[in-house]
Structure 1
Amino acid sequence: MRTTPAQDTMDSPASVSSQSGAGRAARLRIALIAALWPLLAAPASAQDGGADLGRPFATRHAVFEPIGFGDLPGWNQDTLHEGADGMRQSCAALRRKQGWSTACAEFEAVDAGSDTALRGFFQRHFHAYRILSPARRADGLLTGYFEPLLEGRRDRDDVFRYPVYGLPADLLLFDASARAGGTRQWLRVQGNRLLPASAGGASAREYTLALDDITPGIRDKRLRVRIDGDHVRPYWSRQDIELRALDAPVLAWVSAPDRLYSMQVQGSGKIRLEDGSLIRVSYAEQNGHPFLPNITRGSDARMVLRAIKTRGLSAGGSSDVRSDPAISASVNDEVSRLIALFQGKGGSTPPPSPASRPAPTPSSPPKAAAATGISGNDAEVAAIIAALMGGGSASVPAPNPAPEPAPASATPPTAAATSTPPSPAGQAFAGSGGVPAALTNIPDPSYVFFRSSGDGPQGPVGALGVPLTAGRSLAVDPRSTPLGSPVFISTTDPAGNGPMRRLMFAQDTGGAIRGSVRGDLFWGFGDTAGRLALATNEVAQMWLLLPKTQVVTAAQGTGGPALRSLRSRASLPDCVIADPDLCVED
């Protein structure tokens, strides 16, 4: 049979050689496609290292499930370069910690202005874990805080008469575990620590521990105490502090006790002095008392919970208080004034104590409301005020409420960090001069002491010991979210711009920031930041990023059922990463 020209060509020696090469290339392509097909067809989570995902684990406070970066909602859209400084600050604090040295060393060489380069960096060096509550709920709560501005003076006068206290000389830290040694112990003072000592040893003395009604800090497991003769007692409450001449430096005197209280709630702030200069103060310590108000639940209490948006205010000891639909802006504008009702707007004559105030009738707003000039949504604001002042079914708690965690915006400072802070001129401001502070009638027994941290373009120093980055730093519960760690969040933008999905950094803590899926977003300094902070009260989901070389001390398993089979959460560790500086294990 006669062949066609094409057949003739294919059958020629040259054609056979060409056919052989083409066949090899085709077979190679097929083999390559076959090898890559599982990856090409796999979901995004497998593409970024499905086999390299971390193992699930759990602590007493949270459950952690590994997830691929491709499954993080919004991960590929986040403008990571805006948070590069947050990673830089975390590395400054953690580069010498186990598991962080390699990642931090490479970060220095990464193009911090490239979102693509930063995404590749995090995917190479970190595992991502979905944070769940012990009941395996993914939804949690995101609130906000900011750095306020106060007017102040170097010296006390009739108007500026409320002290911004530095660290008291008689406030000591005592490890809670030492209580196991009995109610009568030999102890010695070393710096700001009260330590166990040998009987009859140098500088040692025998004391009786009267510490039944005090709880330790959740992070450092230490009690805030004072020495009273041969007794060790809880440190003074706010009410006690205001009734005595405290042995502590005064960093400035301010005129508005409600703003001072707000700054204590926020954990830091700036004070503008009479010459126009600014000083920045940051959290130094807390007196160890529970953080209030602690409003009892009832018909009015629900409204109070919705209205109080300032950081840290909690209700009934609950760590999972959710916001109802946002109430009107005019009520939010009055939140700072509500605090003033506890002390009469900083007026010259303090109002009677909450217990002695007559309950206002529903038909007429309380007189205090008119005194503070509250306007807009009068009925709702009046109900809130009535609840805060003791009217209705919501009331200010009786003295000595059930203990709650102490608020903390920063790590307990070292002895060097807690020395008397200098003023901008290099001298400590005038002390109280043996005169008690002006009374405020604020019922919250907790009290925050500050240190001068110097003003500058960077944010205030948070619990990690590094400056906070506005919009990218997060206050967390350090037991379930290790300080310094990157944290990806998915929530609603409080400014009303749709979803907010971004990488943040756990660099601060707070007294009411407790629980597994719980964050407090730092918005920065000033009025705009304050409005955003007040507006932030959103349902959120969170994912923890841990270095792949990080040794997790929590209980690990091969899957969800393995973790669910754990018989008792009491047997689980308290911290994800046990660390003597960042999270002390029980």
Structure 2
Amino acid sequence: MKRALRAASLLAALAMTPLVQAEGVDYTLLSFEDLHGWAEDDHEQALEAFLETCGDLKDPAWAPLCEVARTRPGARSFFELFFRPVMMRDGNPPLFTGYFEPELDGSLTPSDRFRYPLYRTPPEARAGPFVSRREIEEQQLLAGRGLEIAWVDDPVELFFLQIQGSGRIRLPDGQVLRVGYGGNNGHSYRSIGQELVRRGIYGAHQVSAQVIRNWVRRNPALGRELLWHNPSYVFFRKIRNVSAEKGPLGAMNRSITSGRTVAVDPAFTPLGAPVWVEKAGRDPFNRLMIAQDTGSAIKGAQRADIFYGTGDEAGRIAGQVKDPGRMVVLLPIQTAFELVPEGEG
């Protein structure tokens, strides 16, 4: 599951942890002139995204910057005046992928159409490893216990909702129920895309979320077995305090922003920090984004997941992203100089 860390406690722990050089990581202090396309970006959009989460940063180096940001200064001048770009490299090649917020059709009551439940976390799953996806679905172990939040009409889309970790359920009366990550069964995530490659059904370059969806639907029995290859199972919770116009909650328990939020590895990049992204490959762009999310598959100093928005079109675009590039973290001046003293970058 990609959106597996969504607790405010994670933010609190990271916000108070001093940023120090990690063994095996190369740190380079850059200038804003080194950032390709910096002058052409819409820095106001980045400032709006930064304001969404900066109030949760209690570290002494960050809190004053949030106060300044709230005065709505000129965005480009704000970032250039109070931050310095730092490149972090751990030897692994840079990789950008994409994610989105799914939107499924569902109901608050089961029917012949809406047969596939989203469950709250059962109490016994909170105590440690629980049964596998296969056991939950094949034996219907949770049915009838009052744990159902809603029912949807497509088991494949439900599977991908679990991978994303949050989404919207569009109800028959037009209302929208928002759900977020509530827990998991304690089993490690296993990629069904990689399993299709291992079986020789597709080459690695052919696999995408849509290719997997189509194959599972063409092969119902084999498709169900393929989904069970991933033993990890995600439970949900209702999200009541986020308007339909705003993005889903990220790891900082705040709404994330389409095209301006990036999920990172917080072992390297502080949550809430501005991040300059230079994505190559298909549909390249250079853009200032904000590190507001995490994911179990996002590991490394140059590994990031770009949030593309809500719905099928966002999902189509996100599913095609697997591109190189580079990522540069903007740190408060004092923090940047403590991490990379001038002359060492």
**Aligned with 1:445 (options 222, 231, 234):** 231
Aligned counterpart, 2:87: 130
Q: Residues 127, 252 of structure 1: CA spacing in aligned structure 2 closer, same or farther, 3 A cutoff? A: same
**Aligned with 1:245 (options 142, 145, 154):** 142
Q: Residues 63, 450 of structure 1: CA spacing in aligned structure 2 closer, same or farther, 3 A cutoff? A: farther
Q: Residues 88, 537 of structure 1: CA spacing in aligned structure 2 closer, same or farther, 3 A cutoff? A: same
Q: Residues 296, 241 of structure 1: CA spacing in aligned structure 2 closer, same or farther, 3 A cutoff? A: closer
User: Per-residue deviation at 1:298?
Assistant: 7.1
Which of the two has greater helix per residue? 2
Partners in 1 of 2:281 and 2:256 — Cα distance? 20
User: Per-residue deviation at 1:78?
Assistant: 0.9
- Any conservation in 2 of the 1:57–1:65 contact (CA below 8 Å)? no
Partners in 2 of 1:252 and 1:67 — Cα distance? 49
**Aligned with 1:164 (options 118, 125, 140):** 118
Q: Residues 61, 88 of structure 1: CA spacing in aligned structure 2 closer, same or farther, 3 A cutoff? A: farther
User: Per-residue deviation at 1:59?
Assistant: 1.6
1:325-382 CA distances to partner (integer Å, 9 max, x unpaired)?
Answer: xxxxxxxx5342234467x1xxxxx55985xxxxxxxxxxxxxxxxxxxxxxxxxxxx
SS at match of 2:329: strand
Q: Residues 236, 88 of structure 1: CA spacing in aligned structure 2 closer, same or farther, 3 A cutoff? A: same
Q: Residues 353, 528 of structure 1: CA spacing in aligned structure 2 closer, same or farther, 3 A cutoff? A: closer
TM-score, normalised with respect to structure 1: 0.50
1:346-365 to 2 correspondences below 5 Å: 350-351=221-222
- Any conservation in 1 of the 2:28–2:340 contact (CA below 8 Å)? no
**Aligned with 1:292 (options 190, 210, 217):** 190
Gaps of 5+ in 1: 1-55, 112-116, 173-224, 227-233, 311-332, 345-349, 355-388, 390-440, 561-586
Partners in 1 of 2:198 and 2:123 — Cα distance? 44
Aligned counterpart, 2:6: none
**Aligned with 2:268 (options 464, 477, 480):** 480
- Any conservation in 2 of the 1:99–1:551 contact (CA below 8 Å)? no
Gaps of 5+ in 2: 1-18
User: Per-residue deviation at 1:442?
Assistant: 2.7
- Any conservation in 1 of the 2:83–2:333 contact (CA below 8 Å)? yes
1:543-562 to 2 correspondences below 5 Å: 543-550=328-335, 559=344
One-letter identity of the residue aligned with 2:157: R
- Please state if 1:149 is matched with 2:111: no
Aligned counterpart, 1:263: 161
If you compute each CA radius of gyration, which structure gives the higher value, 1 or 2?
Answer: 1
User: Per-residue deviation at 1:85?
Assistant: 1.9
- Please state if 1:277 is matched with 2:239: no
Aligned counterpart, 2:5: none
Q: Residues 118, 446 of structure 1: CA spacing in aligned structure 2 closer, same or farther, 3 A cutoff? A: same
Partners in 2 of 1:72 and 1:249 — Cα distance? 49
Partners in 2 of 1:81 and 1:302 — Cα distance? 46
Partners in 2 of 1:485 and 1:109 — Cα distance? 18
1:405-439 CA distances to partner (integer Å, 9 max, x unpaired)?
Answer: xxxxxxxxxxxxxxxxxxxxxxxxxxxxxxxxxxx
1:417-469 CA distances to partner (integer Å, 9 max, x unpaired)?
Answer: xxxxxxxxxxxxxxxxxxxxxxxx53211111112113421100011111010
Aligned counterpart, 2:12: none
**RMSD of the alignment, in Å?**
3.0
SS at match of 2:124: coil
Aligned counterpart, 1:307: 206
**Aligned with 1:121 (options 70, 78, 85):** 78
User: Per-residue deviation at 1:271?
Assistant: 0.7
User: Per-residue deviation at 1:472?
Assistant: 0.5
- Please state if 1:531 is matched with 2:316: yes
Which of structures 1 and 2 has the larger relative contact order (alpha carbons within 8 angstroms, sep 6+)? 2
- Any conservation in 1 of the 2:281–2:324 contact (CA below 8 Å)? no
